[in-house]
Amino acid sequence: MAGEADRATGRVPGPWGGVALVVENHWEWYRRNWRATAVSTVVQPLLFVLAFGVGFGALVRGSGQVAAATGGVDYLVWIAPGLLAMSAVQTGAFDSTYPVLSGFKWQRTYTAMTAGPITPGQVALGHLGWLAVKTAGAGLVCAAVIALLGGVAGPGILLAVLVSVLTGAAVAAPITAYSATLETEGASFPAIFRFVVIPMTLFSGTFFPVDRLPELVRPLVGVSPLWHGTELARAAALGGPWPPWPAVLGHVAYLLALLGVGTVLAVRTFTRRLAR
Task: Write phi, then psi, for 175 (nearest 5 degrees).
Answer: -65, -40
DSSP type of residue 65: H
183 binds other proteins (CB under 8 A): no
Part in contact with other proteins (CB under 8 A); list of ranges 12-20, 135-143, 163-171, 219-227: 12-20
Nearest distance, CB of residue 274 and other proteins, angstroms = 7
Nearer to other proteins, 172 or 274 (CB): 274
Nearest distance, CB of residue 103 and other proteins, angstroms = 9
Output the CA angle 240-137-74, nearest 5 degrees.
Answer: 35
Element (H, E) at 200: helix 198-202
Work out which of 39, 58, 108, 217 binds other proteins, going by CB under 8 A. 108
CA atoms within 13 A on the CB side of 200: 25
Q: Report d(CA 94, CA 216) in Å as an integer.
A: 30
7 binds other proteins (CB under 8 A): yes
Nearest distance, CB of residue 119 and other proteins, angstroms = 6
Angle between the N-to-C axes of helices 75-95 and 120-148, in degrees from 0 to 180, rounded to the nearest 10: 160
Work out which of 2, 32, 183, 245 binds other proteins, going by CB under 8 A. 32
User: Which residues make up the interface to other proteins (CB under 8 A)?
Assistant: 4-5, 7-13, 17-18, 21, 24-25, 28-29, 32-33, 107-109, 111-119, 274-276
